[in-house]
Amino acid sequence: MSWQGIPELFHSAAAADSLARHNARWKALLRNWHERGGVTWTPGVIVSPELRECVETFLPWREFACSLRSVARAFLPSDAWVPHLLQDGTLESILEFWEELPQYSGRVSLDDDELLPFFCACADPPRFGTDVGRYPRQLETLRQMKMPSAGRLLDLGCGIGLGTLEAVVELGCSEGVGVTLEPLEAWMAEMRTLPHDTGRTSHFAPFSQVKAHFVADDILAYAGEGGFSVILCNGLAGGRFMQKDEQFHALLQVLRSQLAPNGVVALSNAFHEGQRHAVQRFLELARIHGWQVTGTWRNAVMMG
């Protein structure tokens, strides 16, 4: 995928009519809820069944998400760029949406100049916690292995790329490649910018000269050029979107095809204990497929 600047990629003029229709309808529905709903909501309030039913009656999530997708399709380069958060089946209520994006809580409309930050926020919600310093134990483990310097690094599930860039520098790699399913994440990583979080954008500054490239692709079908000395696979296997054996088998095939001889795969997980079984199942399958696995489900290293 070829990355270009904002004017070439995003289409504010084309989205204007779609956004105007969205705003007109949903502002009216929000007023109607405030006037007739009989139940109020503020950030942090406990969501009772009564509140959830009331909100869904006046502000049906599926219709709201569909309307936002229409705006996204007019604004973004293609349908593939619509953030997963807005896809069918991801959330069940507008209350969940407001919890995911607290900076937009209570809101149903957007201004023209908010479109890019908004869709970027949908692709990179706060709960992702993507930033430098997220996996210090993993980097320390890899440094202690005294791996050959100047190798290439592949980060599967790279998010907005800050962790990828940090690992390239910390491990002395010659270059890095980051892969994510979200095109907006890959674009933000490639352009070293976070339109929805200008404060965190400054965290890219130390990596301005780092050689790294970011792509949007299906990780389970990724067919890069291979030869990577280090592959990071953090928060992916056993995570929210990858818990089935067939997915694990596909991921192991990708890892095998991309890893250089004597290379290592490193997995670090910030999941709560509820994900332990799924991560351990992936590591079990890795052993069955001939991988040497060391460490724990929180911080594991695999060698082919």
**Per-residue confidence (pLDDT) for residue 100, from 0 to 100:** 93
State residue 51's pLDDT score.
84
In the chain, DSSP finds a helix count (H) and a strand count (E) of: 12, 7
Rounded Cα–Cα distance for residues 173 and 168 (Å): 5
Tokens of 284: 């079990």
Could you give the CA distance from residue 262 to residue 154 in angstroms, rounded to a whole number? 15
Q: What is the CATH code for 136-303?
A: 3.40.50.150
Close Cβ partners of 89 (under 8 Å, ≥ 6 residues apart) = none
For residue 95, what are the CA distances in angstroms to 36, 56, 107? 18, 9, 11
In the chain, residues under CATH classification 3.40.50.150 are 136-303
pLDDT by residue for the chain (304 residues), tens only, comes to 444 555 568 888 889 999 999 999 999 999 999 999 877 777 777 778 888 898 999 999 999 999 999 999 999 999 999 999 999 888 999 999 999 999 999 999 999 999 999 999 999 999 878 889 989 999 999 998 876 667 999 999 999 999 999 999 999 999 999 999 999 999 999 999 999 999 999 999 999 999 999 999 999 999 999 999 999 999 999 988 899 999 999 999 999 999 999 999 999 998 778 889 999 999 999 999 999 999 999 999 999 8
Comparing CA positions, the residue from 175, 170, 159, 171 lying closest to residue 209 is 175
Positive or negative, the CA dihedral 124, 126, 128, 130 is: positive
The Cα–Cα gap between 303 and 287 comes to: 10
Could you tell me the two tokens for 273? 């204990």
Q: How many CA atoms lie within 13 A of 251 on its CB side?
A: 31
* CA–CA separation, 151 and 224 (whole Å): 16
Give pLDDT, residue 2: 46
Residue matched to tokens 């979080």: 197
pLDDT of residue 148: 63
d(CA 298, CA 205): 29
* 262 backbone φψ class: left, alpha, beta (φ>0; ψ -120 to 50): left
pLDDT at 231: 97
